[in-house]
Amino acid sequence: MSTVAPAGALPSYSDVLARYEPVIGLETHVELGTASKMFCGCATAFGAEPNTQVCPVCLGLPGSLPVVNEAAVRFAVMIGLALHCEIASWCRFARKNYFYPDMPKNFQISQYDEPLCTNGWLDVEVEGEVHRVGITRVHMEEDTGKSLHVGGATGRIHGATHSLVDYNRAGIPLVEIVTEPDVRSPEVARAYVDELRELIRALGVSDVRMEQGSLRCDANVSLRPRPAPGDPDAPFGTRSETKNLNSLRSVERAVRYETTRQAALLDDGQRIIQETRHFDEASGRTSSGRSKEEATDYRYFPEPDLTPLALPAEYVERLRAGLPELPAARRARLIAEHGYTARDLQDLRNAAVLDLVEETIAAGAAPATARKWWLNELARRASDAGLQPRDLKITPTDVARITALVAAGELTDALARKVIDGVLAGEGTPDEVIAGRGLAIVADDSALTAAVDAALLGAPDIAEKVRGGKVNAVGPLVGAVMKAMKGQADAAAVRRLLLERLGVS
């Protein structure tokens, strides 16, 4: 019988922390963005028709032989280097044997006791405090296929009437990045995955889309009684492993839920059983999966169909020298060069958006405005449209031009958004859109004066209040004028004009 959720209410998280210390280790699987699979030439594109990207090798048909994809090795080494790992000059692939329908070969080619990269670290900052998370190893393996359980009410394997398998994903190169059990809170667990994702994005070796499964995380959680903080000798408790978390939020929620679930069991005098668990987004709870295989169950042995990998030192050093600027170094430079604060950069972490912000600054925009428009407007529009920000039909030069017009008082923010609409719709450059749509600010002309008069007539009571000295009561009048002008006026100028008319300024 595996661990069940305890009966009754769970303790609160703060109550758990007073009595137990959470111990957390994370395993992250990242699909590498190679054009072809790990051991064959099949394509790796996401979303293709099921079973169209398969061949005898990735289907494990008799007589087929794997060949290592050099790009996958290169990408894995780059990840290891960026995580300060030692890169093995010699390593081997291993067969991990288990039977599962989405594994056509009945084994997975992975690495076991001779991984490619070992012994690194990643620094993670949470609320101004830096936490160093040890990286135990980064090893290479191949992804499995995907099963889809259909029929029945739940869409889950239990109750489904039959299962479909898609082997397109089988054989896509993966790295598994395993941390030491160094993490002590759900917040740091989340921040670690976030930082790791940005690091890998900056390396350009994966599209790291958690929602599409190209980066997925397993969270190992155990508790040990306090007082233990800082006592490296206090023994760890038994861990549970919550599988396949597919958003940063889920990582944090699942870890927090596990701490309270385990605390309730321990309080009740029960043992924690080592098992895999699944996180349910809707309820925020985990439920028991299978009890955990021991390494011996997998009957690992060196993969006989592949020669060991021997990486020349020059190969590794060439990759080290070619690493791009990594997120931590980039943040430090952006703070020094552009006057951003660490806080400004907290929500501006996506390297792809940062590239565009920097290009917009280079095209003449002020750093604060470049950040504002990319973050609040364009990155959001890209994500709404399911696009990468770079794929939006607007250039950094266009954005810089729009911010210059806003700074010069020729566009309001509302008008600037309409200019962006036009540019994205392919109506031309910002200046062409402004001319084509007639979008410049109407300053001080008869239309504006008429709108101001109408607003004053329409709300005599407010006008009276403002006249009597309640200057801030003017807000609704400004709103009425802006509405009448369809946003084509400068709110500050409208406010000035209204106050002038009312004899207070």
Ligand X SMILES: Nc1ncnc2c1ncn2[C@@H]1O[C@H](COP(=O)(O)OP(=O)(O)OP(=O)(O)O)[C@@H](O)[C@H]1O
Residue nearest to Mg ion (CB): 27
Closest residue to ligand X, based on beta-carbon distance: 25
27: contact with Mg ion by CB under 5 A: yes
Cβ of residue 178: shortest distance to Mg ion, in angstroms?
5
Could you tell me which stretch among 175-183, 437-445, 452-460, 462-470 binds ligand X (CB under 6 A)?
175-183
Q: Which partner from the list Mg ion, ligand X, none does 25 bind, CB cut-off 5 to 8 Å by kind? A: ligand X
Q: CA-to-CA distance for 356 and 342, rounded, in angstroms? A: 19
CB of 165 to ligand X, least distance (A): 21
Residues near ligand X (CB under 6 A), total: 16
Give the residue among 409, 435, 408, 410 at the shortest CA–CA distance from 423: 435
Tell me the pairing of strands 117-126 and 162-166.
unpaired
Residue in 27, 102, 207, 377 binding ligand X, rule: CB under 6 A: 27
Closest CB to ligand X among residues 221, 351 = 221
Q: What is the footprint of ligand X within residues 100-119 (CB under 6 A)? A: none
Interhelix angle for 430-437 vs 396-407, to 10°? 60
The single residue among 10, 16, 26, 451 that binds ligand X, judged by CB under 6 A, is: 26
CB of residue 241 to ligand X, shortest distance in Å? 6
φ/ψ of 174, rounded to 5, equals -125, 150
Rg of the chain over Cα atoms, rounded to whole angstroms, equals: 29
Determine contact, residues 248/219, Cβ cutoff 8 Å.
Answer: no
How far is the C-alpha of 110 from the C-alpha of 313, rounded, in Å? 23
Q: Report the alpha-carbon distance of residue 368 to residue 362 in Å, rounded.
A: 13
Whichever of 32 and 406 has its CB closer to Mg ion, that residue is 32
> Would you count residue 50 as binding ligand X (CB under 6 A)?
no
Minimum distance between the CB of residue 243 and Mg ion, rounded to whole angstroms? 8
User: In the stretch 64-83, what mask flags binding to ligand X with x, by CB under 6 A?
Assistant: --------------------
Which span sits near ligand X by CB under 6 A: 3-11, 70-78, 237-245, 440-448?
A: 237-245
Closer residue to Mg ion in complex, CB, 46/236: 236
Binding to ligand X (CB under 6 A): which residues in 180-199? 180-181
Identify which of residues 54 and 189 has a Cβ nearer to ligand X in the complex.
Answer: 189
Q: Which residues of 32-66 are buried (b: 16+ CB within 10 A; e: fewer)?
A: bbbebbbbbebebeeeeeeeebbeebbbbeeeeeb
Q: Which does 134 bind (CB under 5 to 8 A by kind): ligand X, Mg ion, none?
A: none
CA-closest candidate to residue 205, choices 448, 14, 64, 30: 30
Q: Which amino acid is it at 24?
A: I
Cα distances (Å, whole numbers) of residue 441 to 22, 365, 416, 466, 494: 57, 20, 10, 26, 11
HEC profile of 300-338: CEECCCCCCEECCHHHHHHHHHCCCCCHHHHHHHHHHHH
One symbol per residue from 241 to 280: x for binding ligand X (CB under 6 A), - otherwise; what is it?
x---------------------------------------
Asked if 6 and 214 touch (Cβ cutoff 8 Å), the reply is: no
Q: Name which of residues 125 to 164 contact ligand X (CB under 6 A).
A: none
Q: Which residues bind Mg ion (CB under 5 A)?
A: 27
Interface residues with ligand X (CB under 6 A) are 23-27, 178-181, 220-222, 236-237, 239, 241
